[in-house]
């Protein structure tokens, strides 16, 4: 999916919501466990209920990898079920020496039909460039994350500023806003104005709204640019809105509430 296509979907739906399919089999409604693939069945119904209110889905691959072969099959079935009009993100946080990254890129961009993958930048350019070689595919680089451990490295002094700032400045030279995004956690909204100054034209994938306590209003005010430039991910607060047989309807209603709020912030 190109940047123009993504922006058009945001404008069309008046939403920049990304639904996180962090599907924990121990948390899905019990009545689904009788299905041959309960994770996919859960995801299928969530997707059907939320597709009109979001522009993207993010699959946290750890929840699927933990299930071995069956987990990978559920992930592939889920990815294939999501329509081409939705931006599909593999939240895999890969990043290794070049030949290994090339295989990771092949796995998620060729073998599986993802539009984007999250990548850790701390091994440098040769660990990231293999992902950037794919046309109309996106690399989403970890910028400033929302976990408390971000203080260990990301917020430490490095040169003229902090380490995360050095990452953003350096990565700007690797790719354009056409195929590079940054992960910026929603739980630290005070950093967004500075981050937007460093990367004015780039899209951000923003986790941390909802269960983790990030403010959609603050993020939207401080981080939106002329092309919106935001994909705000909400996972548990949507997909686990209900543990009953009405889980899909509850997820759809929650997604719609987020989309309705987002429509009010769009410029």
Query: For the stretch 194-228, what's the b/e string if a residue is b when 16 or more beta carbons lie within 10 angstroms of its beta carbon?
Result: bbbebbeebbbbbbbbbebebebeebbebbbbebb
Distances (CA, A) of 40 to 78, 205, 220: 6, 24, 32
Q: Out of 13, 27, 58, 93, which one is annotated catalytic?
A: 93
Query: For the stretch 101-125, what's the b/e string if a residue is b when 16 or more beta carbons lie within 10 angstroms of its beta carbon?
Result: beebbebbbeebebbbbbbbbeeee
DSSP letters spanning 55-124: SEEEEETHHHHTTHHHHHHHHHHHHHHS-TTSEEEEEEEE--SHHHHHHHHHIIIIIS--SEEEE--TT-
Nearest to 44 by CA among 70, 21, 24, 62: 21
Longest dimension (CA), the chain: 57
Nearest to 233 by CA among 84, 89, 107: 89
Residue 152: count other Cβ atoms within 10 Å of its Cβ.
10
Active site residue 93: yes
Question: Residues with catalytic annotation?
Answer: 93
């Amino acid at each position: 999916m190109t940047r123009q296509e993504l922006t058009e979907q945001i404008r069309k739906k008046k939403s920049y919501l990304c639904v996180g399919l962090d599907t924990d089999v121990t948390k899905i409604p019990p009545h689904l466990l009788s299905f041959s693939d309960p994770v996919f069945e859960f995801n299928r119904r969530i997707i059907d209920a939320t597709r009109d209110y979001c522009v993207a889905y993010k699959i946290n691959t750890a929840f699927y990898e933990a299930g071995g072969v069956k987990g990978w099959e559920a992930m592939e079935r889920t990815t294939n079920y999501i329509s081409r009009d939705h931006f599909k993100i593999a939240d895999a946080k890969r990043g290794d020496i070049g030949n290994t990254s090339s295989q990771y890129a092949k796995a998620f961009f060729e073998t599986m039909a993802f539009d984007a993958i999250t990548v850790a930048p701390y091994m440098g350019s040769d660990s990231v460039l293999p992902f950037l070689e794919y046309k109309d595919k996106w690399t989403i680089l970890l910028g400033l994350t929302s976990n408390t451990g971000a203080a260990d490295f990301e917020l430490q002094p490095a040169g003229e500023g902090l380490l995360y700032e050095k990452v953003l400045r350096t990565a700007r030279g690797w790719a354009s806003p056409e195929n590079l995004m940054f992960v910026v956690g929603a739980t630290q909204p005070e950093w967004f104005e500075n981050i937007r100054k460093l990367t004015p034209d780039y899209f951000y994938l923003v986790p941390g709204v909802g269960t983790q306590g990030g403010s959609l209003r603050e993020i939207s005010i401080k981080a939106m640019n002329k092309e919106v430039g935001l994909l705000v991910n909400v996972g548990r607060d949507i997909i686990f809105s209900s543990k009953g047989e009405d889980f899909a309807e509850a997820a759809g209603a929650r997604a719609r509430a987020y989309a309705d709020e987002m429509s009010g912030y769009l410029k």
